[in-house]
Structure 1
Amino acid sequence: MAEQHDRHIVTLKDVAAASGVSISTVSRVLDDRTPPSRSATAERVRRIADDLGYRRNMFASGLRRGATGTIGVLVPRLTDHVMALMFEAIERTARTRGAFAVVATCGDDPVEEKRATETLLDRNVDGLILATARLDDTLPASLRARGVPHALVLRTDGLSPSALGDDEAGGYFAARHLVDLGHRDVAVITGPWFTSSARDRLAGARRALAEGGIEIGEDRVISTGYGIESGHIAGRTLLAHESRPTAIFAANDNLAIGVVAAATAAGLTVGQDLSVVGYNDIPLAAMLPVPLTSVRTPFDQIAASALDLLGESAGTVTRALPTLIPRASTTAPKA
């Protein structure tokens, strides 16, 4: 799956591919704890690493040197499928690197976020991964000022090292799919406006609709929470219009599930009377009575990037490209 980087981070895998040797060989050659090999292969690997601009990840090195080997992960809540999937991906990836991930939850409360962060730091974690960033959040700035290795996932404040999906591209894919099916009256339910993900997904959707010559009115855009109940309320509001939309793009799958419930309660059949697109492609999406079209987020890729970013300088952002997964919840509008 493709990945776009604002600044490409050269990894051991990159050096191995360019050198024609295994990753373990590159790791051994570039390990400064051992006397440097003078073999032709070692010299070539070091030269290629220099040419590519490889820089040893200090966090990963610290783990190998016997630090606590523990990574703190902060999420709003684990009842949110996306946050649970993100944590599992981080924990899984950390395990392959000889580390262990622990999680704390804080809701959407900045005070609780700070408290949970200090609790993790009190347990001597080697770094923090935050899935909680608000655009107005002061916590990342505090961590930068204190020199705490950290990375943001799924959201960004535009300053701290961040690993996320390309939300603008994902929003574009979702709305473009609806435009290509022939929909001209499309509504969008975004997440909280304090999140970069909500803003970027809406921006992508607007771009796709504009390309199709469709102007989306403000009455067709609702910003709300990311929960199922929020989607249900927003769905009821949109479907109560005398001239209801023929398609709704919901900026996460929970919102989409809420919309499906609202449509069903209104006597509409999703995939016939109304097309619905979700986002993140949680496992439940494919198992609904009408399988949900969704934009798949590459959680494992984001997790790997986040671990690579721990200890990196501010301003480094990686964006993994999502994929649209069409299913039965989207069809051409009725004539």
Structure 2
Amino acid sequence: MVEIKFYERGNESGAMKSDRTNPEVQPRVTILDVAKAAGVSKSSVSRFLDERIPKSDSETARRVRQIAMDMGYVRDVSASSLRRGKTGMVGVIVPRLTDTVMAMLYEALAHAAARAGQFTIVATTEDEPGADRRAADILLRRGVDGLILSTAREGDNFTDELVDRGVPFVLALRTDGKCRSSVGDDCLGGYLATRHLLDLGHRQIGLIAGPTYASSATGRVEGYRKALAEAGLEARSEWIKGSTFGIESGGEAARQLMSLAERPTAIFAVNDNTAIGALSALTRMGLSVPNDVSLVGYNDIPVVSHLPIPLTSVKIPFEQIATAAFDLLSAETVSPRERIRIAMPTLIPRGSTKPR
């Protein structure tokens, strides 16, 4: 199922429309209203208020700008973009907005869009194979100028199809390794999380891995393996359990890990949701975090610092990723070296980890 929601500058589209049935909501002041109040032509007002051209300092221009300000006129960026052959809309495709990580990404993209004088439309896919194609078609029919996708899947050729169609797009959080992408350094983040546990004296470190089709998950697994190898330890297959990035799958993975004859003393979950699920499962099993098991999550969503046991997590700079995504989308040409923008993660230690 594909769900389409409309946002402008970070607000739902309902806020975009004048509600003439509500006396507290005033109709939008148009350029024609300013022209009538100033006694000049509509084209003159447009010229005097256009911030892209040198500002006229004539008495008429100053008077028009003052009248516009007094009337509360706000330039309609989308309308002016449409006149130039663009709508000012950017389509964003995410697996789901109930996932806090994707909601944080979308909010950051909405902020970046507002700074660029644009607005965003979001479509959700539930991470179903092929759903991003349907979402893209719907968004493109609505006239978006380009797409930002966080749904890239390993082995899928959808990005090739977009290239062949000449659709401007950027990948965010996930990458296919070749197209324009704005991502976090997932390998480094996985390394930092595992290195933290190693530095605390843990040598039996379990991993709750994400889906293998997501580059973000596989990158964090790579970082986990790298840190273990650097410490002269083996990444034991029985200590690596997959997940769907969901809370329930994180809980199931934790139960499997702690049911082993030789169970880990620490767990790195490649997503905060799976870490939250693991924390719940461990508590129900009568195990204490961090006294029995240390636990590290990933993404540092806001709730994890407010849990009864604050979660150690790897923080991702979503605003930086969003800004880079818009820069890449608007750039006419990008060198191979700059095609994939990588933001640096930071480990945030909290109460869910302690020395062994």
Is the TM-score greater than 0.5? yes
1:239 pairs with 236, 245, 258, which one? 258
Please, what TM-score do these two structures have when normalized by structure 2? 0.75
- 2:354 alignment partner, SS class: coil
Q: Which amino acid aligns with 1:82?
A: V
In structure 2, distance between residues paired with 1:184 and 1:298? 29
Aligned to 1:164: 183
In structure 2, distance between residues paired with 1:109 and 1:168? 25
Aligned to 1:201: 220
In structure 1, distance between residues paired with 2:83 and 2:236? 54
- 2:202 alignment partner, SS class: coil
In structure 1, distance between residues paired with 2:295 and 2:151? 27
- 1:310 alignment partner, SS class: helix
**Cα root mean square deviation, aligned:** 1.8
Aligned to 1:117: 136
1:318 pairs with 329, 341, 345, which one? 341
Q: What does residue range 168-317 of structure 1 map to in structure 2 within 5 Å?
A: 168-312=187-331, 316-317=339-340
- 1:276 alignment partner, SS class: strand
- Once the two structures are TM-superposed, the CA of residue 111 in structure 1 deviates from its matched residue by 2.4
Q: Which amino acid aligns with 2:261?
A: E
Aligned 8 A contact 1:107 1:113 in 2? no
In structure 1, distance between residues paired with 2:230 and 2:84? 53
Q: Which amino acid aligns with 2:307?
A: L
Q: Report the CA distance shift for 1:64/1:265 in structure 2 as closer, same or farther (over 3 A).
A: farther
Aligned 8 A contact 2:243 2:274 in 1? no
- 2:289 alignment partner, SS class: coil
In structure 1, distance between residues paired with 2:132 and 2:120? 18
Q: Which amino acid aligns with 1:232?
A: G
- 1:110 alignment partner, SS class: coil
Structure 1: which 4+ aligned runs deviate by more than 4 Å? 62-66, 311-315
Percent of residue pairs identical: 53
- 1:94 alignment partner, SS class: helix
Q: Deviation per CA, 1:247-278, whole angstroms, max 9, x where unpaired?
A: 00000000101110111011011111110000
Q: Report the CA distance shift for 1:193/1:64 in structure 2 as closer, same or farther (over 3 A).
A: farther
In structure 2, distance between residues paired with 1:277 and 1:224? 15
Aligned to 2:22: none
Q: Which amino acid aligns with 2:230?
A: E
Q: Which amino acid aligns with 1:282?
A: I
- Once the two structures are TM-superposed, the CA of residue 34 in structure 1 deviates from its matched residue by 6.2
Aligned to 1:328: 351
The higher-RCO structure (CA 8 Å, 6+ apart) is 1
Q: Which amino acid aligns with 1:121?
A: L
Moved more, 311-320 or 214-223: 311-320
Aligned 8 A contact 1:133 1:152 in 2? yes
In structure 1, distance between residues paired with 2:119 and 2:330? 17
- Once the two structures are TM-superposed, the CA of residue 135 in structure 1 deviates from its matched residue by 1.4
- Once the two structures are TM-superposed, the CA of residue 211 in structure 1 deviates from its matched residue by 1.5
Unaligned runs of 5+ in 1: 1-32, 36-61
Q: Deviation per CA, 1:286-320, whole angstroms, max 9, x where unpaired?
A: 01100000000100000000001115558510100
- Once the two structures are TM-superposed, the CA of residue 158 in structure 1 deviates from its matched residue by 1.2
Q: Which amino acid aligns with 2:217?
A: A
Q: Which amino acid aligns with 2:136?
A: T
2:108 pairs with 64, 75, 89, which one? 89
- Once the two structures are TM-superposed, the CA of residue 64 in structure 1 deviates from its matched residue by 10
In structure 1, distance between residues paired with 2:256 and 2:218? 21
Aligned 8 A contact 1:71 1:129 in 2? yes
Moved more, 237-246 or 248-257: 237-246
- 2:130 alignment partner, SS class: helix
In structure 2, distance between residues paired with 1:272 and 1:301? 36
Q: Which amino acid aligns with 1:231?
A: G
In structure 2, distance between residues paired with 1:85 and 1:267? 33
Aligned to 1:8: none
- 2:96 alignment partner, SS class: coil
Aligned to 2:121: 102
Structure with greater Cα Rg: 2
Q: Which amino acid aligns with 1:325?
A: I
Aligned to 2:58: none
